[in-house]
Structure 1
């Protein structure tokens, strides 16, 4: 398979204003890649772009808005004709059990994590098809390998991204476009601390659970970003990042219906959204 050359071509990164998207953007810019950065946070996006040494195009759009996504994609494809990579990092988290969450809260996360990924991919696919070789990298999750209690909407969205990525990869067999998905363990980006939780949860309880989850995140953003970039260049179909993710991947394969017995104790505090805060 032809390896991608990102330097001298354009890579589109969504969720670029913070977290993994920003870490990836910084490394790609330093390596000479022309960047298109997409995010809904105009201020943070401009601040990042101003700090990058290479050519950068910025586009402010809420990926939940399909019409805005396709209009933005048209602008991107006109201004940047040499797109050969798309890395989708836009996403959020949601704490709460099924009893605590409303359907509206769960739909919001699905719109952000799943439909935002689907819409930007569909909108930019014509540009990617024009490249001699192109790759789409979707950011999945450890929780697209195993589904813990207390994370139903997040796991739903990430399992769906995984299914979308795999099905799209099969649809594009024999074309110049390949598709891969990344399954990282906890990366120290602050996503869980800045994510949402069910309105019915006491904020102190939610903060305690989020802090317990964040304490288990060991992978540095720079390390994860480097691995994601290399996976994109090598057009890998599946990449698992972090010791915890690799361990869970094995456990799920060995015990596909019983893996929660192993994970339950480790995640007890991170999934407890009912015990009153002290």
Structure 2
């Protein structure tokens, strides 16, 4: 399969205002890529774009709520006009949601599905015709370690990420034999702050939710810049499947060995991170 040369070619990145999206943009800029940055955080996009432009990178910014299909279509048209040589799409946008099924409302779960899944599907669908014009192009979707194994206490998040995995794999099969390849990334333990800045069920005491989020965040060890380098390498090499982080590889192997009983091995390490019911202890 033809490897991508990103120098002088354009890449579109969602979730580019912070975290892995911003670091992925910087990693591509170091390779000479031109960039279309997509996020709902206009000020964050501007900050990242200004930093990249100071280094000589050509950047356009496209603030949008990815759950708004009409708005996504509009910014896709902007990107087509600004980046006719678009060669890759990397979808990093997403959020999290804490809570058990008893604590969560249908509205809360639908919101996360709109953000994590339908936003990914929408921008991919809109930009695919442009990517098809290139001699070689690649779509990279960020899934999660929780697209390999579904833990208790993370039902909506795992649902969305398993769905992103399914979308990526089915689309890869649809595009087989074309100039566009598709891959999914399964990161674990990246210090992006997504869990600390994500949402939690309104039924959960804020202190309890904060405690669970902090316990999950304490398990993250990889810096976003390191993860971004691996994301870019996977995109350039057009890989179909990339595990990032030691835990991701371990969970992948565990699920293969014990597809029904893997939770028994995962339960203890995640105990505090999934506890959204135990009241806070008074000091």
TM-score (norm 2): 0.98
Q: Of 123, 130, 133, which residue of structure 2 is paired with 1:127?
A: 130
**Superposition map of 1:170-189 within 5 A:** 170-189=173-192
Determine the C-alpha separation between the residues in 2 that align with 1:67 and 1:105. Answer: 22
Structure 1 unmatched runs, 5+: none
Instruction: Give the aligned partner of residue 46 of structure 1.
Output: 46
Q: Determine helix, strand or coil for the equivalent of 1:64.
A: coil
* Alignment partner of 2:257 out of 232, 254, 277: 254
Q: Give the structure 1 partner of residue 142 of structure 2.
A: 139
Cα shift at 1:71:
1.2
Q: 1:212: Cα distance to partner?
A: 0.2
Q: For residues 33 and 78 of structure 2, what CA distance do their matches in structure 1 show? A: 19
Could you tell me which residue of structure 2 aligns to residue 27 of structure 1?
27
Deviation at residue 78 of structure 1 after TM alignment: 1.3
TM-score under structure 1 length normalisation: 0.99
**1:7: Cα distance to partner?**
1.2
Give, in whole Å, the separation in 2 of the partners of 1:217 and 1:56: 30
SS of 1:264's equivalent? helix
What residue is the counterpart of 2:9 in the other structure? 9
Structure 2: distance between partners of 1:60 and 1:265 = 41
Give the match for residue 68 of structure 1: 71
Displaced runs of 4+ in structure 1, greater than 4 A?
Answer: none
Deviations 1:170-211 (A, max 9, x none): 000010000000000110010000000000000000000000
Equivalences for residues 1-278 of structure 1 within 5 A: 1-52=1-52, 53=55, 54-278=57-281
* Structure 2: segments with no counterpart, 5+ residues: none
SS of the residue corresponding to residue 269 of structure 2 reads: coil
Counterpart Cα distance in 2 of 1:137 and 1:177: 11
Structure 2: distance between partners of 1:26 and 1:194: 22
CA displacement 1:213-246 (0-9 Å, x = unmatched):
0000011111100000000000000000100010
Q: How far, CA to CA, are the matches of 2:79 and 2:190 in structure 1?
A: 29
Q: CA deviation at 1:89?
A: 0.3
Q: Which SS does the other structure have where 1:265 is aligned?
A: helix
Q: Aligned partners of 2:22 and 2:151: how far apart in 1? A: 27
CA RMSD of aligned residues (A): 0.5
* Partner secondary structure for residue 277 of structure 1: coil
Question: What CA deviation, in whole Å up to 9, does each residue of 1:28-48 have, x standing for no partner?
Answer: 112211000001111111011
Greater CA drift, 20-29 or 171-180:
20-29
- Partner Cα separation in structure 2 for residue 255 and residue 41 of structure 1: 41
Q: Secondary structure at the match of 2:185?
A: strand
3-state SS, counterpart of residue 165 of structure 2: helix
